[in-house]
C-alpha cells in the first residue's frame, strides 16, 4: 500500500512510501479521497517515496487543491529527492509551499 493514513480529531496524516506513479494512482487516490471528505488539516509525509511521476504529482495536487478550496491547513513534509525533482521540474514548489530546493553544482 503506497499510503498509510492516520486520522485523529486534529489532523489527517498521509504517509506515502514506495512508488507514487501511474501503476498505483487510482488505488491511492481512492484511499486519499475517502479521507479528504473530512474537514481536517492535511499533513503529507513523502520521505519514503522512491519514485514519482506525473500521476503521483496529480494526487498531490488534488490533495493541495482540496485544502485550498476548503480553507484547510496543508503541510508537505520530508519530500524525498524523487518528489523534489518532480516538484522542481513542474515548477510547483510555491504551490506546495516547499522552500527546500535541490541544486546541482557543477564541479
The helix, strand and coil proportions of the chain, stated in percent and rounded to the nearest 5, come to 40, 25, 35
CA distance 33 to 59: 10
79 has a pLDDT exceeding 50: yes
Do you know the residue count of the chain?
A: 107
Query: Would you place residue 2 in the very low, low, confident or very high pLDDT band (cuts 50, 70, 90)?
Result: confident
- Average pLDDT over every residue of 49-63: 96
pLDDT, residue 101, reads 58
Its pTM stands at 0.88
Q: Compute the average pLDDT of residues 22-30.
A: 93
- Is 70 exceeded by the pLDDT of residue 36? yes
Amino acid at each position: 500500500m503506497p499510503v498509510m493514513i492516520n486520522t485523529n480529531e486534529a489532523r489527517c496524516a498521509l504517509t506515502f512510501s514506495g512508488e507514487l506513479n501511474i501503476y498505483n494512482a487510482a488505488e491511492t487516490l481512492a484511499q486519499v479521497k475517502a479521507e479528504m471528505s473530512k474537514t481536517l488539516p492535511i499533513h503529507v509525509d513523502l520521505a519514503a517515496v522512491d519514485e514519482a511521476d506525473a500521476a503521483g504529482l496529480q494526487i498531490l495536487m488534488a490533495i493541495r487543491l482540496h485544502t485550498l478550496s476548503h480553507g484547510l491547513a496543508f503541510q508537505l513534509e520530508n519530500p524525498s529527492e524523487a518528489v523534489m525533482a518532480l516538484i522542481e521540474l513542474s515548477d510547483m514548489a510555491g504551490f506546495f509551499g516547499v522552500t527546500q530546493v535541490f541544486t546541482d553544482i557543477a564541479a
